[in-house]
Structure 1
């Protein structure tokens, strides 16, 4: 059931937007914002994250406190009418509010912003600035060279900042209107009837305030905006006046989550998805024993020639015994990062599942290049001990003519490896597929002379290796080694097989990208790298979307807890100049499993560092799960 909102007074309805003077125009703006994300007004908002996105599309920049008013633990979904009522209550950010946000930096209230105050604010969250960078930013705007910024001295600066924010909103609005017009034209072509009545007003309206939620994750806030101005002068999205680098009050109530997949509203697959451009790739998570059991995976580059709405899905791809445990499938997600000259900025990530059980996300993306980085928590995919493996399975044997042949079990494992290496899923291994396989198993790319050997000795089809040819290649290796299987075992263990030839140290997956209005779409395998590259991105999203509190007696130590539909993450932020040892005890949680193997885990957090403590997922996905975490400083 939707949690209904009481209808606001008529006076409140006119506060929803400075550019709205009549209720019909206001409702048209709401429709334009809603339809820029959803296909139909009957579609529902199914998560707090989606509520934030659609509110940003309407020109609002909701804080965590604002979202909490309308999305509580009892909220399953919100309708379009609910959204309209929220927009009536929540007005757009004003210049006065921006000024209040800047004044919050003036911690001692002396009317000036000092280097120390600005430095403290800009080095507490997200992409941190150095002291020299903060000093250079002050120097650029400090006209009287006293090392401080006073409000009278820099009135023009604040005005310019506000104008920059508004210009950004206008640019985002134009892109969103353009995308909506494409959708409406497509709908008219499909129905072969002209639009009439109220819908015409939606298409014709140019007044809806839009903010591009796909460019800036909710919660980057003032410090991010100031960093953008200080470093590059580039425009950033509208700031949240309450999104300052201080934690919110701790919420004592347990967080009870419904069974995964049982919620009444989900991310919906676009109804016309078959008309969208579709590209996909397979890939795999691997446990790298040589690097302390860390997880590595294929990573991708997505090229979009046009602004478009995208629908991205990620799911385990069952091959052999991999990807699925007795408790459920290995969790899979993908982070979308916008590629830049010096760093990658988080755009979004697959936070929810759809009705088919796929982790997915839907959003608008401007034309450009993006990095897609798969992620799994490690709660069900982790380095396992030898266990009951008493001896190695035989890989080869001799036939009656004393010739070396591959055992039946080894052939089956090789067939599974072939399917894992076939990234484009065409039943053959291209040179590129074979190259990624070779990088994983030997650490080296396939040289031209090596590929010449392949082409001259094994079965190919259209210049690509067949499954029969792949088995023959391994047969040749066994013969060349005179029955020595050490190199064969290196291949098997690298690909995730244990000594019983069970694929339990890897999880194949399938990544699908659908683009609505971009025919020139390209997805390339960009590397096979540790997912540790995502740690900063994960920390950013947890800080932006999670609940925060200060550890008692530790003014510079904060804990953030993010709880999504299928994953919870607990991280510790240490802003002090000393390392801290802290115990995070989640043993009182219900129906959860952690990536740390032990729910009562102690970690060391270096100074000025943010560290992930626990990833948690439900042990039984069909039952409710409760997250409880108790922290204790270890002296």
Structure 2
């Protein structure tokens, strides 16, 4: 949900300093780099390349074991179902994030629950009985492997402390052996694909995993070089030996990060305006969904369209992480056939956090598709100790929302109040319901809300919205579980910080008519959006034909704050393009990789990557080599 805080909450007037220190960010990046390196090492112990897929349950079991896991048959079946034919490297990384290795403490605690007398031993017969009849049942052979492996006690007892030591040593040795093999063979280091990555200290940081549907969660004219654009070839080691490649180098100083054409809406303040709010939400699998809009322009007019993060009020001391998230908007003309939307323009002009487009639109209907690169809105694995308190009982024993929870819910209200009138109509409320429960509220249920909660003109007030959410906790006798579902669905963490969502606001100014905007969908980026991105980059970017392969063209387009590269494959065959960013500096990628591979279908275009400066106050260097894998 979206929000606005209590009266004593301070305004977030100034740009908020990011809560994470550079040291903390580097530490986190280093941890993620180690994780992906371990993933790759385990994967390449079983498979020849990380471009190769896992093709059987047995291969899945082997790579998991090489990564220090000890998967049961039930665990393997969880990820390899009757519908599974292959799993790729991304899937494998996702599985390892889910199946964390057991610690020695956890193993000992499990054994001590059996050893109630605390002797340090468990009879083999007792172990057989428990492991073959309870919980995730094991076979006799599997239990025998445990009792025989450690060769610990010949009198029919298992010294489980020594067994745990042996288990941990074996697991560590598997990982160590895999890493040693990876280090010896430098070629394997660069066979990266999907979300794997090895990050140098100055390279591109690591990203969100984007698993395939098989292990995902629930229910696609050359311009003259611009200033600062260097064409000095750069061919890192990973590109050597490739018969076809193309390199791009762009140096950006800190002052160029915001120096595209300025948009000053106050200069068009006499124009008629329409506004709508919306939000980017980060899914469990790293996918980003957002509102999609339909715009009506009654007559031909010059129009200015802007989008920027919504500056919500916040509780003092809380960071506004979303204010640093990049936002853009693609404008598509609606034709008689809706599937054939035509790209009109996108918000390439920029003024600080706001991006905009200005041009002439004919009368008719248009689609506005919000977009963020994913460079700064991504899954971040942070350790959160404890959780915020959502409700409490007052002196009268009545349940009430805590100050922190109330502030978060009010912020949520502001985000889902799409027209910004301080009230929620049924359509706005249903976007909230679809996000949090997956179901819509019908007219009958809305009438019940009207009887029980504060409304004005058939629209829910802020107080009514708070009371409705409090009712969920009351219905569960004070259990805040449903409240947590709501908050987590809308991008909050357990500390009530909005870290996985970015509310935004869209303004449309028209010189000669009154524009109208309406939110239609809340969904992931469509193929229409992907096509629009590719087309915009191909139209405005620097085009380079790959040396040695005239059917492959790499387009590179830059604005003040981001660089996007698109690969076009004009051939009749699928190609795999190797992408190397090892020489880039102070860069943040939506893929988060220094080296990876992109598969491009025949006669199609695909986004290679989006890159932004990691630190906007410093210069940054984009140095990328695209090579055709033979």
Q: Secondary structure at the match of 1:587?
A: coil
Question: Is there any run of 5+ residues in structure 1 with no aligned partner, and where?
Answer: 1-63, 76-248
Would you say the 8 A contact 1:546–1:561 is kept in 2? Answer: yes
- Alpha-carbon distance between aligned partners in 1 of 2:550 and 2:343, rounded to the nearest angstrom: 29
**Does residue 295 in structure 1 map to residue 293 in structure 2?**
no
**Does residue 364 in structure 1 map to residue 357 in structure 2?**
no
Would you say the 8 A contact 1:312–1:361 is kept in 2? Answer: yes
Note the alpha carbon deviations across 1:104-140, whole angstroms, 9 max, x for none.
xxxxxxxxxxxxxxxxxxxxxxxxxxxxxxxxxxxxx
The correspondence of residues 105-184 of structure 1 with structure 2, limited to 5 A, is none
- Alpha-carbon distance between aligned partners in 1 of 2:424 and 2:479, rounded to the nearest angstrom: 26
Note the alpha carbon deviations across 1:228-248, whole angstroms, 9 max, x for none.
xxxxxxxxxxxxxxxxxxxxx
The correspondence of residues 342-491 of structure 1 with structure 2, limited to 5 A, is 342=337, 343-354=340-351, 357-385=353-381, 387-491=382-486
Q: Secondary structure at the match of 2:413?
A: helix
| Larger RCO, structures 1/2 (Cα 8 Å, 6+ apart) | 2
- Alpha-carbon distance between aligned partners in 1 of 2:385 and 2:265, rounded to the nearest angstrom: 51
- Alpha-carbon distance between aligned partners in 2 of 1:382 and 1:504, rounded to the nearest angstrom: 9
- Alpha-carbon distance between aligned partners in 2 of 1:593 and 1:260, rounded to the nearest angstrom: 17
**CA deviation after TM superposition for structure 1 residue 323, in Å:** 5.8
**CA deviation after TM superposition for structure 1 residue 542, in Å:** 1.1
Specify whether residues 407 and 555 from structure 1 end up closer, same or farther in structure 2 by C-alpha distance, changes over 3 A only.
same
**CA deviation after TM superposition for structure 1 residue 547, in Å:** 1.9
**CA deviation after TM superposition for structure 1 residue 447, in Å:** 0.6
> Which residue of 2 is the match for residue 336 of structure 1?
331
Would you say the 8 A contact 1:308–1:365 is kept in 2? Answer: yes
> Which residue of 2 is the match for residue 324 of structure 1?
321
> Which residue of 2 is the match for residue 529 of structure 1?
523
> Which residue of 2 is the match for residue 73 of structure 1?
227
**Does residue 278 in structure 1 map to residue 273 in structure 2?**
yes
**CA deviation after TM superposition for structure 1 residue 466, in Å:** 1.7
**CA deviation after TM superposition for structure 1 residue 625, in Å:** 2.6
Question: Does 390-399 or 590-599 show the bigger shift?
Answer: 390-399
Specify whether residues 264 and 411 from structure 1 end up closer, same or farther in structure 2 by C-alpha distance, changes over 3 A only.
closer
Would you say the 8 A contact 1:323–1:506 is kept in 2? Answer: no
Q: Which TM-score applies when normalising by structure 1?
A: 0.57
**Does residue 623 in structure 1 map to residue 618 in structure 2?**
yes
Specify whether residues 400 and 609 from structure 1 end up closer, same or farther in structure 2 by C-alpha distance, changes over 3 A only.
same
The correspondence of residues 495-510 of structure 1 with structure 2, limited to 5 A, is 495-510=490-505
Specify whether residues 363 and 259 from structure 1 end up closer, same or farther in structure 2 by C-alpha distance, changes over 3 A only.
farther
- Alpha-carbon distance between aligned partners in 2 of 1:371 and 1:260, rounded to the nearest angstrom: 33
Q: Secondary structure at the match of 2:477?
A: coil
**CA deviation after TM superposition for structure 1 residue 433, in Å:** 1.8
Specify whether residues 351 and 264 from structure 1 end up closer, same or farther in structure 2 by C-alpha distance, changes over 3 A only.
closer
**CA deviation after TM superposition for structure 1 residue 475, in Å:** 1.1
**CA deviation after TM superposition for structure 1 residue 74, in Å:** 6.8
Would you say the 8 A contact 2:297–2:365 is kept in 1? Answer: yes
Q: Secondary structure at the match of 2:269?
A: helix
> Which residue of 1 is the match for residue 126 of structure 2?
none
- Alpha-carbon distance between aligned partners in 2 of 1:271 and 1:485, rounded to the nearest angstrom: 45
Q: Which TM-score applies when normalising by structure 2?
A: 0.58
Specify whether residues 265 and 373 from structure 1 end up closer, same or farther in structure 2 by C-alpha distance, changes over 3 A only.
closer
Would you say the 8 A contact 2:473–2:481 is kept in 1? Answer: no
**CA deviation after TM superposition for structure 1 residue 459, in Å:** 1.3
Note the alpha carbon deviations across 1:446-504, whole angstroms, 9 max, x for none.
21121012100111233322211111111111111223333222211111111222110
> Which residue of 2 is the match for residue 117 of structure 1?
none
- Alpha-carbon distance between aligned partners in 2 of 1:529 and 1:322, rounded to the nearest angstrom: 27
**CA deviation after TM superposition for structure 1 residue 264, in Å:** 6.6
